[in-house]
Structures are given as C-alpha cells and as structure tokens.
C-alpha cells in the first residue's frame, strides 16, 4: 500500500503552489493537504480550500484572514483560518505533516522554512532566498534535525537528478568536476544594450519559455535569478564558486548538467514545466505522473549554448561577488534586489537601475559575520533601509 504524504504548502497561491496542487490532484491516493498558506490572496486560497479541504489556511495579512474566516464559515468548511508569521511557522511544523513545500517568494519565506527544517520535515525547497541569505545556518539546521532537503528549482532539481544517489556532499568523492547551471538568458538576451534602459515591466515579465510570477520573471531578465541559484547551488551541493559554471541555453530544455572527471556530462532534459521537478520531489524516490507534455526531440531539433556576458547581466557578476565575499553579503544582495525589482515593477526606476542600486547598497552596508538567523534578518533590514534611501535620492 502506498503511504500517504501529509502536506503543508507554504505559498499555495503562487506559481509553485498552484502547480504543486495540480500534481497533488492527480494523485488523491498519495497526498493529503493539511495546510495552505498565502500572503493576502484570500479569494484564491478560498477556492483551494473548497477543493482540497485543508485543516488550516494561513494568510500573512490579518485583514485578508478575517475576510477568509467569514467566507470559510459561510461555505460550511471545517478549515481553521489563521494569520501572521507565527501561524506560518506553526503549520510548517505540525506533528502530522511530513512534507512541506516551501514556496513563499522572498525573505518572507525564511522563518517558516526554518521551522519545517527544525521539525525534521521533508522540505521541498522552492524558496531560494533561504539558501541565499542563510545557507550555512540552514544546512546546519537540516543536518542537526534529520530533515530531508529536496530542491524544487528546475536547475537544482536537475543537478540533484544528475548526481549519484549516494552523493553525500563531497563532489570530489563522486568524481564530479563541476556543475553546469543552465539559464535561458531571459527576454533581453539579444536586445541592444542601449535599449535596456527603456524596457518596461511588461516586457521584463514576458519570459520566452517559463510562466512565472512577476518578481522571478524580472530576476530572470536581469539574470539575478541565476546569480541567486549559483549561491544556492554552492550550499546545496557544497560546490566551490569556481565549480559552478553558468551556461546560457535559450531553449530551456536542458535544465542543468553535471560534468564528471572522466569527461562525461550528465543532463536532465524536459519541457519547461515546473510540475516535473515538483512531482520528482513529491514522489521521491519514485516517479509519478505529472500531466507534463512529453519532450519531442524532433520538434526541439537543436540545442544552443553560450557564455553569459557580465556587461549585459551585471546582476550575475554581483551574485558571484557576494558569494566570494561571504558573511552577510548574499543577504544584502538579496534584500537590495527585492527592493529594486519592486521599485522597477512600480515604474519608480528604470530597468538598468536595478544592478546600480544593488551595487551601491552592497558597498554602503558592508559585510558582517553571520552566526544566527537574527544576524541574517538584521542584515536584510539594513540593506532594505539603504535601498529605500537610494531610491529616495534617485527621485
């Protein structure tokens, strides 16, 4: 008999959360949704509650949670509605939950993701900020509490699939020379550099291959998303920065590769659909059906590769710089980027100002040692203050 996994989905109304529920719905005998959470998307989570009947629904925004309580009661649902960060941590660590999908975007997802790891859960990690901002601390928590960590980002999931099953954190011990982290190059890969200053949020969010949220779409356009993934790969696979090579692959068919010392390169291929890595992690170590269209190699016909240009993508350079600097630098990088992207999406500054703001904030705040999660959150706060000050001067 197949054991039933009991799930908490942190960020159920976002792209990853919606795709997770799509996979779950295809396997009602395998999965039971215990808790759903979101920021303030009350109407969307209400529909999810009607379909999946979770025991808990958590909204970060208190006013949205009050509205949801009324609607849940009117619908005759048994779902208990909660609000606030503490409630996110509660549902991430429930005794009868064995698997937590950590898909809250940004720094807001760190505390509940840590709570899941401390409770020894199987953590399906889609919140890359946890690894970027507090990678060493988080990996220590995972090990100390016997948690299981499975990556959801398509690139890191591809690397995970391409490594030997007995990989325990030592790339040299399994004969790995380096990791090849693929990137589409986003919508502006071939746009003249002189035109970048004038691109709009709509253009930046129009990813050529993936359907994603606004923030991650802009990150893909700047390639900050890939920079954050470089930092994440460093911690997930204990890879030195020089062992992580970014490769632009416009088709997004190869999701990443692992190069071995004997010259072999193993790759994971598939159509660009997040249900593939989600289902891989949900069913691990088994394979389960996803609803993803099978890859037609004859239709794909060709696979192209090129090296990234740091002049076109300065955010990628800044991410490598933050990784090399260490300490609080990655947390500062991430916080500054979140403020910069939000400001760009609100048309408060041009696209090309995103890396400019990040670099200025990194210099202004400066590196500090990181020993605790509070140190990380303090660095995050300082960086956000500096970023808003920079924005004020820009205006």
pLDDT in tens, 93-148: 999 999 999 999 877 889 999 999 999 999 999 988 899 999 999 999 999 999 99
In this predicted structure, what is the pLDDT of residue 213?
Answer: 77
Under the banding of pLDDT at 50, 70 and 90, the label for residue 395 is low
| pTM for this model (two decimals) | 0.93
Under the banding of pLDDT at 50, 70 and 90, the label for residue 208 is confident
Residue 18 has pLDDT above 70, yes or no: yes
Kindly state the helix (H) or strand (E) to which residue 197 belongs, with its residue range.
Answer: none
Residue written as tokens 């391409």?
162
In this predicted structure, what is the pLDDT of residue 206?
Answer: 84
Under the banding of pLDDT at 50, 70 and 90, the label for residue 216 is confident
| Angle at 169 (CA atoms; ends 168, 171), nearest 5 degrees | 110
Q: What CATH number matches the domain at 5-151, 3.30.350.10, 3.40.50.720, 3.40.309.10, 3.40.50.300?
A: 3.40.50.720
Under the banding of pLDDT at 50, 70 and 90, the label for residue 209 is confident
Tell me the two tokens of residue 145: 């509490």
pLDDT in tens, 378-389: 999 999 999 999
The whole-angstrom distance between residue 196's C-alpha and the CA centroid of its chain comes to: 25
Under the banding of pLDDT at 50, 70 and 90, the label for residue 23 is very high
pLDDT in tens, 346-368: 999 999 999 999 999 999 999 99
Contacts of 3 (CB under 8 A, 6+ apart): none
In this predicted structure, what is the pLDDT of residue 106?
Answer: 76
SS3 325: helix
In this predicted structure, what is the pLDDT of residue 99?
Answer: 98
- Name the burial class of residue 141, with classes exposed (0-12), middle (13-18) and buried (19+) by CB atoms within 10 angstroms of its CB: buried
pLDDT in tens, 247-288: 999 999 999 999 999 999 999 999 999 999 999 999 999 999
Q: For 11-21, what is the mean pLDDT?
A: 96
More confident residue, 392 or 332: 332
Q: For 185-195, what is the mean pLDDT?
A: 91
Residue 313 has pLDDT above 80, yes or no: yes
Q: For 332-346, what is the mean pLDDT?
A: 96
SS3 59: strand
d(CA 241, CA 277): 24
In this predicted structure, what is the pLDDT of residue 181?
Answer: 98
Q: For 230-255, what is the mean pLDDT?
A: 96
Q: For 81-85, what is the mean pLDDT?
A: 96
Fold agreement (5-151, 326-395): no
Domain ranges of the chain: 5-151, 326-395
CB 246 within 8 A of CB 323: no
d(CA 126, CA 150): 9
326-395: CATH number: 1.10.1740.10
Q: What is the chain's alpha carbon radius of gyration, rounded to the nearest angstrom? A: 20
Residue 196 has pLDDT above 80, yes or no: yes
d(CA 23, CA 8): 14
In this predicted structure, what is the pLDDT of residue 339?
Answer: 96
Residue 295 has pLDDT above 80, yes or no: yes
In this predicted structure, what is the pLDDT of residue 129?
Answer: 85
CB 58 within 8 A of CB 88: yes
Percentage above 90 pLDDT, the chain? 91
pLDDT in tens, 35-66: 999 999 999 999 999 999 999 999 999 999 99
| Angle at 275 (CA atoms; ends 59, 248), nearest 5 degrees | 110
In this predicted structure, what is the pLDDT of residue 105?
Answer: 82
- Name the burial class of residue 216, with classes exposed (0-12), middle (13-18) and buried (19+) by CB atoms within 10 angstroms of its CB: buried
Give the number of residues written for the chain: 395
Q: How many CA atoms lie within 13 A of 316 on its CB side?
A: 23
């Amino acid at each position: 008999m197949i054991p039933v996994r009991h799930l908490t989905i942190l960020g159920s109304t976002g792209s990853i959360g919606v795709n997770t529920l799509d996979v779950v719905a295809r396997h009602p005998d395998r999965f039971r949704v215990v808790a759903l959470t979101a920021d303030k998307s009350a109407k969307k989570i209400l529909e999810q509650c009607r379909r999946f009947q979770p025991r808990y629904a958590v909204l970060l925004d208190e006013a949205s949670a009050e509205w949801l309580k009324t609607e849940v009661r009117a619908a005759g649902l048994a779902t208990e509605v909660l609000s606030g960060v503490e409630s996110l941590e509660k549902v991430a660590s429930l005794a009868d939950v064995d698997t937590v999908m950590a898909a809250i975007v940004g720094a807001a997802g760190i505390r509940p993701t840590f709570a899941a790891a401390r409770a020894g859960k199987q953590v399906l990690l889609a919140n890359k900020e946890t690894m970027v901002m507090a990678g060493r601390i988080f990996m220590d928590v995972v090990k100390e509490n016997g948690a299981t960590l499975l990556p959801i980002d398509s690139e890191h999931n591809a690397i995970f699939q391409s490594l030997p099953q007995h990989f325990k954190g030592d790339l040299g011990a399994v004969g790995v020379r380096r990791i090849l982290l693929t990137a589409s190059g986003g919508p502006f890969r071939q746009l003249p550099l002189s035109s970048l200053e004038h691109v709009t949020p709509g253009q930046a969010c129009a990813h050529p291959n993936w359907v994603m949220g606004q923030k991650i779409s802009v990150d893909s356009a700047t390639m900050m998303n890939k920079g954050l993934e470089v930092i994440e790969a460093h911690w997930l696979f204990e890879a030195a920065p020089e062992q992580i090579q970014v490769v632009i692959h416009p088709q997004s068919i190869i999701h990443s590769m692992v190069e071995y010392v004997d010259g072999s390169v193993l790759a994971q291929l598939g159509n660009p659909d997040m249900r593939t890595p989600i289902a891989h992690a949900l069913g691990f170590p088994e394979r389960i059906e996803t609803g993803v269209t099978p890859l037609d190699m004859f239709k794909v016909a060709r696979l192209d590769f090129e090296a990234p240009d740091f002049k076109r993508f300065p955010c990628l350079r800044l991410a490598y710089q933050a990784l090399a600097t260490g300490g609080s630098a990655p947390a500062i990088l991430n916080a500054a980027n979140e403020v910069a992207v939000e400001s760009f999406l609100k048309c408060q500054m041009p696209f090309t100002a995103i890396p400019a703001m990040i670099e200025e904030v990194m210099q202004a705040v400066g590196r500090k040692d990181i020993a605790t999660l509070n140190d990380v959150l303090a660095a995050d706060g300082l960086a956000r203050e500096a970023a808003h000050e920079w924005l004020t001067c820009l205006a």
